């Protein structure tokens, strides 16, 4: 009985020891697992965070660029505007021209230096009307002056207006002039002798100038007497007269070496511009 009890107690003690050892071993494994798992989870979290950061940076680096909105700086730089030039600008235009220029060029160059000003379509229309009125007035006045000055005669008859240079100093031959009469002197004399021309030249100075000087050439041509089909044998027949002569008058420009300067006496004709396409030919007598 005592032996059996001792064996039972011994078995209970062994069981208790085994159970305690088992519990301790289980706790030890639990602690180890927790220790190992925690770094792995942290590493996994760190890896996840790094991956996300790399992904976001990759997206920032390789993302598509946004398109610039239309109407920005590029469109403003190519904008054209209408301006009127106030001065002559080489390669751009003359004063008074209406042209289209870049808006930036106008803002940075033309406007600060007062080379041009912006102009509207209405102003352009008014300027065109004013120019037309001025052109019509110019043409009408030039036409009237041309009728007054023009020498349309081809002979030595008097024309409507004659510019005379009398009592000039000449050489021994009585023909060669001392100093000559150039374009400037011709214009001064024409203004002095013709008040209408003086008034016109003051208003349209740029239009008026001497374009050419021509010298008159007179050639006499003998005309042969036509024989009659019937001869007059009567004693009272009048003696034959000398052959008649015809006079041919023409004008030729002075040599270029003379530079439109009259250097001897004679009859001349100067070509004076009144407009771009209208000229008056004025008769000049030099004695």
Most confidently predicted of 25-29, 178-182, 232-236 = 178-182
Residue found by looking up tokens 């002979």 in the block: 155
What confidence tens digit (pLDDT) does each residue in 204-258 have?
A: 888 899 999 999 988 777 766 555 555 555 555 555 555 567 778 889 999 988 8
Measured in whole angstroms, the distance separating CA 275 from the mean position of its chain's CA atoms is 23
Q: 80-85 and 162-165 as β-strands: parallel, antiparallel, unpaired?
A: unpaired
Domains of the chain: 80-119 (3.40.5.10), 139-217+258-286 (3.10.430.100)
Q: In this predicted structure, what is the pLDDT of residue 190?
A: 93
Residue 76 phi/psi, 5-degree rounding, is -70, -35
Residue 57 CB contacts under 8 Å (≥ 6 apart), including other chains: none
Compute CA distances 281 → 99, 184, 213, 259, 275, whole Å. 38, 16, 9, 18, 13
The DSSP call for residue 107 is I
Alpha helices in the chain (DSSP H): 2-62, 73-77, 103-105, 121-149, 183-193, 195-203
Q: pTM of the full predicted structure?
A: 0.55
| 3-state DSSP assignment of residue 258 | helix
What confidence tens digit (pLDDT) does each residue in 114-149 have?
A: 899 999 999 999 988 998 998 898 899 999 999 999
């Amino acid at each position: 009985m005592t032996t059996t009890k001792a064996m039972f107690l011994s078995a209970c003690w062994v069981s208790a020891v085994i159970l305690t050892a088992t519990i301790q071993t289980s706790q030890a494994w639990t602690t180890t697992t927790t220790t190992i798992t925690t770094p792995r989870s942290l590493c996994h979290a760190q890896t996840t965070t790094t991956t996300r950061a790399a992904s976001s940076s990759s997206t920032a680096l390789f993302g598509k660029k946004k398109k610039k909105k239309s109407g920005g700086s590029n469109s403003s730089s190519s904008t054209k505007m209408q301006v009127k030039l106030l001065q002559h600008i080489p390669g751009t235009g003359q004063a008074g021209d209406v042209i289209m220029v870049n808006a930036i060029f106008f803002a940075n160059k033309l406007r600060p230096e007062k080379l041009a000003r912006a102009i509207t379509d209405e102003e352009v229309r008014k300027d065109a009307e004013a120019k037309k009125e001025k052109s019509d007035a110019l043409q009408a006045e030039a036409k009237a002056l041309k009728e007054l000055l023009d020498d349309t005669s081809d002979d030595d008859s008097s024309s409507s207006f004659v510019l005379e240079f009398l009592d000039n100093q000449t050489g021994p031959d009585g023909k060669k002039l001392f100093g000559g009469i150039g374009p400037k002197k011709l214009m001064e004399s024409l203004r002095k002798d013709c008040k209408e021309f003086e008034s016109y030249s003051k208003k349209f100075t740029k239009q008026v100038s001497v374009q050419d000087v021509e010298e008159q050439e007179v050639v006499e041509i003998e005309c042969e007497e036509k024989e009659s089909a019937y001869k007059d044998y009567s004693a009272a027949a009048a003696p034959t007269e000398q052959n008649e002569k015809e006079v041919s008058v023409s004008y030729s420009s002075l040599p270029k070496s003379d530079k439109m300067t009259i250097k001897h006496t004679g009859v001349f004709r100067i070509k004076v511009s009144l407009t771009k396409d209208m000229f008056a030919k004025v008769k000049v007598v030099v004695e």
